[in-house]
Amino acid sequence: MNLKQIEKISKALGDVNRLKILRYMQKHNGKVECTQACKLLTLAQPSISHHIKKLVEADLILQHKVGRNYNYSLNQKVWDKYQKSLTEL
């Protein structure tokens, strides 16, 4: 993993709201309803949407559309690579 990729992932992790979204996902089998996340984080819906996009763009989570909702899963491969890259740098 090159420095630009490490930078991008670190940036994606550098926000409490996004960390809360990630934690919420993990607690809910990768399922997030955007509207529920809004209530939890006291953020407007477009803000949640924006944060989720950052996580997707960093390739940290994978997005699957299911009807009107989305399900997400942690991209374990990228996650592991990131952690390995950090220790090696």
Q: Using CB under 8 A as the criterion, which residues of the chain lie in contact with a second copy when the complex forms?
A: 3-4, 6-8, 10-11, 13-16, 19-20, 22-23, 26, 83, 86-87, 89
Distance between first and last Cα of the chain: 9
Considering the complex, what minimum distance in angstroms separates the CB of residue 68 from a second copy? 27
Burial 3-20 (b: 16+ CB within 10 A, else e): eeeeebbeebeeeebbee
Choice between 46 and 77, CB closer to DNA: 46
Q: Which does 46 bind (CB under 5 to 8 A by kind): DNA, a second copy, none?
A: DNA
What's at 16, amino acid-wise? V
Site string for DNA, 40-79 (x = CB under 7 A): ---xxxxxxxxxxxx--------x-x-xxxx---------
CA atoms of 42 and 81, how far apart (whole Å): 32
Let me know: does 6 contact 22? Beta carbons within 8 Å: no
Q: Which does 13 bind (CB under 5 to 8 A by kind): a second copy, DNA, none?
A: a second copy
